A and B are shown apart, each in its own frame.
Chain A
Amino acid sequence: MDKTTHFGFKDVVTDDKQSLVRGVFDSVASKYDLMNDVLSFGAHRLWKRYTIASSNVKVGDKVLDLAGGTGDLAIKFRKKVGDSGQVILSDINAAMLGEGRKNLINNGVFGVEFIQLNAQNIPFADNTFDCVSIAFGLRNITDKDQALAEMHRILKPGGCLLILEFSKTDSELLKKFYDFYSFSVMPKLGGIIANDEDSYQYLAESIRKHPDQETLKTMVLDAGFSFCEYHNLSGGIVALHKGIKV
C-alpha cells in the first residue's frame, strides 16, 4: 500500500505532497507578499526582524535561507554579512524564487545567489554555513526529519539554525480568535485578494498540523543539534526555534 502523509487536513500519498505544495505556491506566488502583510497585519515583518537579530550573523558569514520564497530574510542577511559574506536564497519553487528576484531588485539588493532546491536534499558540502534559516517553510516539507538532518549536516560547527514557523498558543482566548480568523477569514481573504480560497485553506490547515513548540524542539535535537531553544512570538502564534551545532 502507498504511504500517506497529510496535506493540510487531507491524507495524501506521500510522494504526491511535494507537487501539491508546489501547486499552492505556484498559485499564490504573485500575491504572496501582499497577502503576508494583509493576513498578519504586518506582524511577519517584526517576526522576521527578531529572527535576524537572534541569528548573531556577522560580516563575512555564509548564510543559506531555505524555502526563502520572496526573499525577506535574504535581503536582511545580505546587509549583515557585507561584501565579504555570502547569502543564498533557495526554494523548491521557481515561481517563488522569481518573485524573490524581483523583490531583491526592487529593494536595491544585489549579490544574493539563487538556487532552486529541495530542503530534503541540500546540494552543499558538510560544514559549509554559519547560519541556515527557514521561515514559514518547514511545515510544507514532506519529510521534516530528513530536512533537519540536512540542515545540521551543512552547518559548520558553531553554526546556527533558525526556524521561524507558526506554532501553538496556550491562550484559550487567542486560540478561539485565531481559529475563527484562520478558517473563516483567511481563506475568504485569499479568495478575494488572490483569487485562491483553496490555497489559503491549505495554509491554515497546514499550520494546525505542524508540530508544537516542544515537539519541534525534540526533532531539532534528534537531528543532531546540541542546543535548541524556542522563543514564542505574538503569544505563541509563531515560534522561533534556534538550534546550535557545537
Chain B
Amino acid sequence: MQHFVLEQALNYLIDQGGVNLGALNGKVLHFALEDLALDVNFICTNNRIFVTTDATTAIDVDIKLKSSVFLALLQGEDLTELLRQDKIIIHGDVKTAQLLVDLLQQIDIDLEEVLSKYIGDIFAHQAGKLGKTFKKSKNSIEALKDELTTLLVAPSKSNLFKDKGI
C-alpha cells in the first residue's frame, strides 16, 4: 500500500509543477531496498509516474540498495561515491538512476516513517505525515490528506491480502 502513497505524492508534485519528469519520461526503473519489503517499479510515462510492484517487465534501470544507504542518499550523499563503495548496485544507465534519486529527494515526505511502516499495513494517521511535504498550497495539502486518509482506511484493513498484489 505504501507504493500507492508514493505514487500519489510523486504525481502530486508533478501536477504542482514542482517536478519535471523530463529525461525520465519513457523509462522504467526497478528499485529495491534489500533489507525491507520495498520492491517497486517506477514507470515514468505520459508525464506521470506509476509505481507498481509487478515484476513482469522489461526494466531500463535496476537499482538495489539497503535502506540505510537509501536514507543517506536522501540526505544528500553522493550517488557515484556510494557506487564506488559498492553500497549500491545499479544495472543500466547511472544518469537515469540519478534522476530518480533527485526526484525522490524532492518529495521530502517523511520517507523514514514510510519505510519503517513498510512491512505492516499503513494506517490513516500515517497519511497525515505527507502533509509535511507539500508546503506550497495549504488547501491542496489538506485536500490530499483528506483524500488519502479516507482512501487508506478501507483497503488497508485487508491484512489477508498483504502479499497478494497490494
Q: A residues engaging B (CB < 8 A)?
A: 43, 46, 49-50, 53-54, 56, 58-59, 130, 156-160, 169-171, 213, 217, 221, 226-236, 239, 242, 244, 246
Contact = CB atoms under 8 A, between A and B. Distances in A.
Contact of B150 (A46, A171, A231, A232): A46
Contact of B151 (A50, A59, A226, A234): A50
Interface stretch (B31-39, B41-49, B66-74, B101-109): B41-49
Contacts of A56: 7, 11, 48-50
A66 to B, nearest CB: 19
Contacts of A230: 165
A242 B140 CA distance: 26
A160 B161 contact: no
Main secondary structure of the interface of B (DSSP, over half): mixed
Contacts of B160: 169-171, 235-236
Given A157-B46, A235-B158, 17 more contacts: A49-B151, A56-B11, A56-B49, A130-B46, A158-B45, A169-B160, A170-B161, A227-B57, A228-B56, A229-B52, A229-B165, A232-B158, A232-B161, A234-B157, A236-B158, A236-B161, A246-B57
A160 to B, nearest CB: 7
A239 B157 CA distance: 14
Across the A-B interface, the 5 shortest Cβ-Cβ residue pairs: A158-B46, A158-B45, A232-B161, A229-B54, A230-B165
A54 B4 contact: yes
Given A227-B41, A244-B45, A234 B158 contact: yes
A235 B7 contact: no
Nearest to B10: A56
A231 B50 contact: no
B165 A213 contact: yes
B157 to A, nearest CB: 7
Given A213-B164, A231-B4, A231-B165, A246 B45 contact: yes
B52 A227 contact: yes
Nearest to A226: B57
Contact of A227 (B48, B54, B147, B148): B54
B47 to A, nearest CB: 8
B53 A229 contact: yes
Interface in B7-40: 7-8, 11, 15, 28
Nearest to B54: A229
Contacts of A236: 158, 160-161, 164
B94 interface: no
Interface in B69-123: none
B150 to A, nearest CB: 7
B166 interface: yes
B43 A235 contact: no
A129 to B, nearest CB: 11
Contacts of A157: 45-46
A43 B153 CA distance: 12
15 contacts: A43-B154, A50-B151, A53-B147, A56-B48, A156-B46, A157-B45, A158-B47, A159-B46, A227-B54, A230-B165, A232-B158, A234-B158, A235-B160, A244-B50, A244-B52
A49 B150 contact: yes
Contacts of B8: 53
